Each structure stands twice: as C-alpha cells, then as structure tokens.
Amino acid sequence: MLIDFFYTLRTAKLPVSVKEFLTLLEALRAGVIGPSVDEFYHLARMTLVKDEAHFDKFDRAFGAYFKGVEMLTDFGREIPLDWLRKVLERELSPEEKAAIEKMGWDELMETLKKRLEEQKERHEGGSKWIGTGGTSPFGHGGTNPQGIRIGGPGRHKSAVKVWEQRAYRDYDDSLELGTRNIKVALRRLRRFAREGSDLELDLGDTIHCTAANAGLLDIKMVPERHNKVKVLLLMDVGGTMDEHIHRVEELFSAAKGEFKHLEFYYFHNCVYDFMWKNNRRRYAEKSPTWDIIRKYNKDWRLIFVGDATMSPYEILQPGGSVEYNNEEPGAEWLQRLTHAFPKFAWVNPEPQGVWEYHQSIAIVQKIMQQRMFPLTLQGLEGAMRLLSK
C-alpha cells in the first residue's frame, strides 16, 4: 500500500527520496506510532518532507491518497464545537429576512457577553441563543444580516467577528501559470521590472561584425538587463479569499519569477498591527507592521492583493478584527502604509462589477485614493503603469 503512497508524493512533485521512504518504513516497523491516521500523517511528514515550503503539497497529496483528509491537527477553541455542529438549516422567506434588524457594534458585543453568561446548554435554531441555524446574530449556519460567527463555515460573508482559530494555507509560489491572460500580464511585469545598467557582451552582433570584418574580432556590447525594482507584496488570505486562491497563486508565482527583490506578507481581511510570513505559524511568528514599515524604504513598490470584502467594522472600528481586539482600526494602518510607500496599488480579485455593492470595498478604495485595480489583464496593466511612474 505504501509504495503507491510514495508514488503519489512523487507525482505531486515532492522531492521524496527512496532513503527517506525507507526511514519511514523502519519507523513503522519499530512501532513508534499507533494505528492512527493522524499519527501516521505527522510521522510521514517528519520523515519525508525536509522543507516547510513543501508542506502544502504534502497535505494535498496525503489528502488525495487517503480520500479526503483535509486537516489533521485539532486546534483548541474557547467554545466547544459539539455545540456548534450544524444540524438545522432554516430557509426564510425574503420578507422574514428583510424583517431582521441589524444590531449596532456596541449592542452586538454587549449582547454576546450576556448570552455567554446566561446560556448553559447547546441550542439549535431560534432567534436568541448561541447555536446553529435560526436567526440569532450569534452562532453559525443560520440567517442574520450582521452578527458574530462562532465556529462552523460562513454563508453570507457578513459576520463582523469570528470566534475560531483557523489555519490558512500559504499561497503556492511554484504554481504553473495556467491562463493566457496571466502569461501576457507576466510580460507586462517583465517590462516594468527590468532596467538597463552595465554593459554585457552581445554575442550575436559580435559574431556578425567579426565575420563582416574579415575575421578580425569586433566586440559589441549592449546594456545588461537587471531586475532592480523592489516589490513589497501584502496578500489577504482565508475567508472570502478562498474563492480566489487559484488566480492569486498564479499572480504570486508570476511575481516570484519576475522580481528579484520581492518580499511578501499575509494578512486577513484588513491590515492591523501585525502580519505574518507563514500561515500555519501566524500566531507564533508575527511581524509587527511598524517593523515592516521601518525595514523597507520608499523605493519599494507596495502591492496589496485582496478582495476588500468584509464588515465595515473591520476597517473603521477599534476591536473590529474578526480574530482579536485590535487597538487601532485597520484604516489607520492602511494610511500609514500608503504614506510610507508612495508608490502603491491594490489588486482586487473580486469582479469589478460587484464592487459597488460592497460598502467595505468603497471604503478601501477611498483610503487607496482610487488606486484599486481588478485582477485582470487590463487591471494589471493599469497597476503596473501606475507603479512604474
């Protein structure tokens, strides 16, 4: 059975050697783990994967081989997830949905605090308690225009806070560019990224001129092409961005191939006081935003990549982050970044036709001084043209 597992990993382009595979077999033969798929996952990753950059590929290959294993690590949560198992889905009429009133920020947070103090058991459906289904603004799987999602998957993208620790996967910078439009955009990036500097030998012209000169060496030089542009790439990850993973990976792969000086960081929904380089260790290895601003000078081009689709609270309200209580609103950090890096742009993978229907996109556009471009060939051309000035 494990021979096929080995070939599955090799097919996924993981650099797994026979020696490493034999080490895994020796560990199994020695009985270092019990009869558990979870334990086998961790043992196989430890023995077969030597570079953390390949963790995503390993997870996908492992999941494909064992038919659907998606995540094997159990992260602790403040609220028991057995309360939050989705059992009831209630379909409301348009009139019922329209009748539900939105709560303000302060009222929403105060009400949640009271519910947590009062509620003693699991709840399904209804309009008051924390649970699944129903119309309560707290819980998940139900219908409310604006609430706090506690566990479970989102449905309407309107929650203003999410009580759940999530493990986002990093964007894969080795993804092959799959569409003609992105390849054309890559050529635009190449022209933007390279500038002439010192001279180098022009071999073709030297041969031609030497032959024309009766064999006497006639050396011809041309300006060498160097990639001198420095790019700071900040990418939104998780949540609504899951719908755009493939296209963002294509853009990320193109940028990694074209820009010699490229630094990247991740954020979720909006930038706050810290970002991170690795999504699995984002709580343990944070990069303070102030340090990032101080580390790179004004010569760096700043590119945000995100759908800017979130609750307006997340941009304008202290404590508005869906994951923790940020002391300063996201708008303050966005303004600091755009001030520190005068050459900036925001690339939005969300279709431009729906921008006007999201209040948060309008807010971010204003902060970005209307420097928001769609993730299309024309949009990338516009962004590159702006950044090259």
Residue 53 shares a structural domain with residue 119: no
Residue spans of beta strands (DSSP E) within the chain:
131-132, 138-140, 148-149, 161-162, 194-201, 221-227, 230-236, 261-267, 274-276, 286-288, 301-305, 344-348, 372-374
What pLDDT sits at residue 331? 96
CB-based contacts of 8, cutoff 8 Å, min separation 6: 61, 64, 65
The CATH number that applies at residue 294 is 3.40.50
Query: What is the four-CA torsion angle of 8, 13, 15, 21, rounded to 10 degrees?
Result: 0
Domain with 273 in it? 180-195+228-387
Mean pLDDT by groups of 10 residues along the chain of 389 residues: 82 87 88 83 87 78 67 39 39 47 56 60 49 50 50 50 56 51 54 53 83 83 67 92 89 80 93 92 88 93 95 92 90 96 95 92 96 89 85
Residue 294 shares a structural domain with residue 377: yes
What pLDDT sits at residue 344? 96
What pLDDT sits at residue 287? 94
104 within domain boundaries: yes
Q: Is 219:201 a contact under the CB 8 Å cutoff?
A: yes
Residue 274 shares a structural domain with residue 352: yes
172 within domain boundaries: no
129 within domain boundaries: yes
Q: What's the rounded Cα separation, in Å, for the pair 254 and 251?
A: 5
Classify burial at 213, counting beta carbons within 10 Å of its beta carbon; exposed 0-12, middle 13-18, buried 19 or more. Answer: exposed
pTM (2 d.p.): 0.56
Residue 281 shares a structural domain with residue 149: no
215 within domain boundaries: no
**Which of 40, 65, 90 is the last residue before a domain boundary?**
65
168 within domain boundaries: no
212 within domain boundaries: no
Residue 253 shares a structural domain with residue 369: yes
Neighbour tally for 319: CB within 10 Å: 15
Neighbour tally for 324: CB within 10 Å: 12
Q: In which residue are the tokens 């609504």 written? A: 240
Q: Is 47:29 a contact under the CB 8 Å cutoff?
A: no
